[in-house]
Amino acid sequence: MKSKNLSNKILRSIKSRGFKNIELDSVIETKYILRRSGENFRKFLFSFQDLKGNELCLRPDLSISSVLRYLDNKSIKREKIFYNAEAYRKTYQKKDSIIKNQIGFEILGSNNKEKDDREIINTSLKVLKLSGFNKATLKLGNVELFYLLVDKLEMPQRWKQRLKRYYWNENYFSQLLKRLETNSDIDPVFVETDKSKFKKMQKKDKNKVIAGRTYQEILERFSMKINDPRRSSRGKINTKIIKEFLKIKCPLEKAPKILNSFFKKYSLNIIVGKDYFPIQKKNNKNLKVKFLASNGRELEIYSSIVFSIDVKIKSKVSNFILGGRYDRLTENLGFKKVPAVGAAINMGVYE
């Protein structure tokens, strides 16, 4: 009962800030989930086929359901919406529930980045104040900073794209860094062999298919590697810069100075202004505000600011609110870009 009363209190507070209550579809097409999360995610879905043979599933993610609704309505205007719903996802841990109770609030069609990011974070802090938790930690990161960093490093464009793409996959990302650092995949003998094969393939039928790809596709990739080679001398320093950046964590008010000092140290033309983050230190002694360069790395959805609010319950730290900007989510689903920012409240912490 306490949880229900608090939930209603939080919903009223969000509504008072101009957010409109909406209903989300319980069932969505499976292809949208797999398009964003990959085929491996299928094992977590409650899926089935309709009479037409289309594969459907119970919604495992509320943000996807929300943006699909926005697109279905052919909306082009800025919308402030909120919802109280459940996400359904299989689990292989007995202690975990397959139903995740969440309250979400989002700004869709959000083109005023600074204003809307700030509004989502301030609404989250308002919810935190109502929650009854005595102490909390707000952690901020920004995926854009990592992208900017990679773009400034001296390495082939294909490698920059690869590091950005697999930033979220910590295991594979670590393997990529190891390859950069050791240059174990650069062998002069193999390089010359590749060049020889390249010249021979140029004389072949470009439409011929080998291992699922045409000669033309293979030649284009060869050409890219030959014309934009990876220099082994830069591997160690690039890896060192990336690893050092991802270890940066400090009180938020010190972040601009520390980041600028880091970028200057490696002669990278990146400057972080004092107003770069959509929140300044709050006069709340029970709230710690930190910057973590690696915050939210496990969450592929985000494209810019990412934040989380952790609380302590019976000596255990739990995530209470998670949010950020996800401008590319709709593109990943196969649609036009819809700028969006939002947050989700995990009501399960009260259970």
pLDDT above 80 for 30:
yes
- Give Cα separations from 155 to 232, 272, 284, 285 (angstroms): 10, 23, 44, 44
Rounded-to-integer distance, Cα 150 and Cα 20, Å: 39
Is residue 217 scored above 80 in pLDDT? no
**What's the residue count for the chain?**
351
Residue pLDDT, tens place only, 226-269: 554 556 668 899 999 999 999 999 999 999 999 999 999 999 99
- For 250, phi then psi, to 5°, come to -165, 170
Q: Provide the pLDDT for residue 76.
A: 81
Q: Residue ranges per domain, the chain?
A: 2-148+241-350, 189-229
* This prediction's pTM: 0.82
* HSE, side-chain direction, 13 A CA sphere, residue 204: 16
Calculate mean pLDDT across residues 283-295: 88
Could you give the C-alpha distances from 28 to 41, 75, 105, 265, in angstroms and in order? 15, 19, 20, 49
Which residues are CB-contacts of 339 (< 8 A; sequence separation ≥ 6)? 108, 109, 110, 111, 113, 325, 327
Q: Which amino acid is at 218?
A: I
Taking the C-alpha atoms of residue 112 and residue 118, their distance in angstroms, rounded to an integer, is 10
What DSSP letter does each residue of 230-257 carry, written as one string? PPHHHHHHHHHHHHHHHT-EEEGGGHHH
Tens of pLDDT, residues 258-283: 999 999 999 999 999 988 998 865 66
Helix, strand and coil percent figures for the chain, each rounded to 5? 45, 20, 35
Contact 16, 75 (CB under 8 A): no
d(CA 185, CA 264): 31
Token pair 């284009």 in the structure block, residue: 220
Read off the amino acid at residue 133.
F
Q: Report how far residue 327's alpha carbon sits from residue 106's, in angstroms, rounded to the nearest whole number.
A: 12
**CATH code at 2-148+241-350:** 3.30.930.10
Taking only the tens place, the pLDDT of each residue in 175-200 is 999 988 887 655 554 555 566 666 67
Helix ranges restricted to H, the chain? 2-16, 30-37, 62-72, 113-131, 143-152, 157-165, 170-182, 188-201, 215-227, 232-246, 255-265, 329-332
For residues 341 and 188, the model is more confident at 341
Where does the pLDDT of residue 1 fall: very low under 50, low under 70, confident under 90, or very high at 90 and above? Answer: very low
